[in-house]
Amino acid sequence: MPVIATEPKRFSDLVKVSDNQLWNAGYMTESVTVNEASAQDYEVGTLLGKVTANGKYKIWDSAAEDGSEVLAAVVLENKSVAATTDTAVWVAVRGGLIVADKALELNGETLADAKAGLEALNPPIVVASQI
């Protein structure tokens, strides 16, 4: 059967449960600055690490040695990021959320590593099999 249409991921594809009290207080999410060496299209569920030297975020890479090897956030919006340009992106940075494993953008990393990294946040973001 031919594909008729495709849609980008939505927030609801990723976030399955949230603590409304924490959510309404803005405790779980932030607008952070990202900066990538090359242009990137972030999708909902893209995993980010935080560069130690400048405090900016970029796509999580467990083999990196600049701080971005530590999982620090999950992107909550679809956004295009121009090369070497500071861009504000809405992300989840701490727990009170349950996210769907199939909505995470692993970028070559393993689901087990992503789950461990998110559950290491304080408080953790819980990864569950898609409901």
Residue 48 backbone phi and psi in degrees, to 5: -120, 150
**Residues 63 and 91: beta-carbon distance below 8 Å:** no
pLDDT, tens digit, for every residue of 8-21?
Answer: 888 888 888 877 76
3-state secondary structure of 117: helix
What is the third-level CATH fold of 11-128? Virus Head Decoration Protein; Chain: A, (2.40.300)
pLDDT(120) > 90: yes
pLDDT, tens digit, for every residue of 28-81?
Answer: 889 999 999 999 999 999 999 999 999 999 999 999 999 999 999 999 999 999
Between CA 39 and CA 52 the distance in angstroms is 21
3-state secondary structure of 82: coil
Residue ranges per structural domain of the chain: 11-128
pLDDT at position 25 is 61
pLDDT(131) > 60: no
